[in-house]
Amino acid sequence: MILEVLEFGFIQRALIAGASVAITSSVIGLFLVLRRNSLFGDALSHAAFGGIAIGLATNIYPLWTGLTLSILGALGITKLRQSAKIPADATVAILLSSGLALGILLISLSGGFTLDLFSFLFGSIMLVSVEDTLAILAMTGVILSIIILLYRQLMYITFDEEQARVSGLPISKLNYLFIILASVAVIVSMRLVGILLVSSLLVIPNVTALLFNKGFKKTALISVSISIFSVVIGIAISYAANLAPAGTIVLVSTTVFLTVLAARYYSKKKQIVKKLEEARS
């Protein structure tokens, strides 16, 4: 039965594209979570929503307009944080609500929601074409290559930006490059889970991985594994039970998080009991 299902072209594409997105989003997400910027992905995806609405209204390929607006918005709020000293969470709120507002405005002007817009809002992993899959693979390759090349520098900035600056790293350039990579990762992830659930892919696998108390590389590997597991199992369950794939993937990811959290709580409790017993005897 499983082998038969795997012979379907759309399932193969969904799994390949899904696994690629899982890798990209968890790698980028680790830096966002550690910089206390978990909602940045949400802001980027909502800015992209405005861009996609522009694309649909003007008949330009919506992913390009989405990507452009997402990058411009992200660079804009970064500049705002640096020059106007506006708190990070406030700038995220500005970008998030402005992107959404632009999208709603354009939709109302063009006479309401279309099927295309729905697929961007809620994801359409089962509908990815061969071209989409290749594009996702190419973008994943580019993002991963850059992250692997600059991994130590990005980790340094995440650990302590001031010390990284003193050591001579070009902080502004690296930050802008990271923002562009994050925007691309968000656009790629939107295909899988949609604008509304993008940040879950960036955040949940990483928060789960942090519970394992490992070093940086191991945490990244655990996060990627959890992310791929959630996507593959999510796609399988959604196909078997005829459920929405995006929601299923995110709920699988949340279930993994809760399971690890419970296991950690149980193991800590066991350790305390053991120590108390040792102290008594």
Partner 1 sequence: MQIVEIDRLSYAYSGNLVLDNISFTIDEGDILGIIGPNGAGKTTLFSCMLGLLDDYTGTIKILGEDIKKKNSKVFKGIGYIPQKKIIEQNFPATVEEIVSLGITTTGKVSKEKITLALETAGLLVQKDRRVGELSGGQQQRVLIAKAMVNNPKLLILDEPVTGIDLEMQNKFYSLLKRLNQKNNITIIWASHDLDAVNRFATSVACINRSMFFHGKTYEFFENPDLLKAYSESSMQAHMHLHNHTHRG
- In the chain, the amino acid numbered 28 is I
Binding test (CB under 8 A) with partner 1, winner from 87, 111, 112, 215: 215
Residue 267 CB, nearest distance to partner 1 (Å)? 16
Nearer to partner 1 by Cβ, of 166 and 272: the residue is 166
Residue 42 CB, nearest distance to partner 1 (Å)? 22
Residue 22 CB, nearest distance to partner 1 (Å)? 19
Handedness of CA 22, 23, 24, 29 (dihedral sign): positive
Interacting span for partner 1 (CB under 8 A) from 80-88, 116-124, 150-158, 252-260 = 150-158
Nearer to partner 1 by Cβ, of 134 and 174: the residue is 174
Residue 38 CB, nearest distance to partner 1 (Å)? 14
* 216 touches partner 1 (CB under 8 A): yes
Asked if 123 and 188 touch (Cβ cutoff 8 Å), the reply is: no
For residues 134 and 136, give the distance between their C-alpha atoms in angstroms, rounded to a whole number. 5
Binding test (CB under 8 A) with partner 1, winner from 169, 182, 187, 236: 169
* 264 touches partner 1 (CB under 8 A): no
Residues that bind partner 1 (CB under 8 A): 34, 149-150, 152-153, 155-156, 159-160, 162-169, 209-210, 213-219
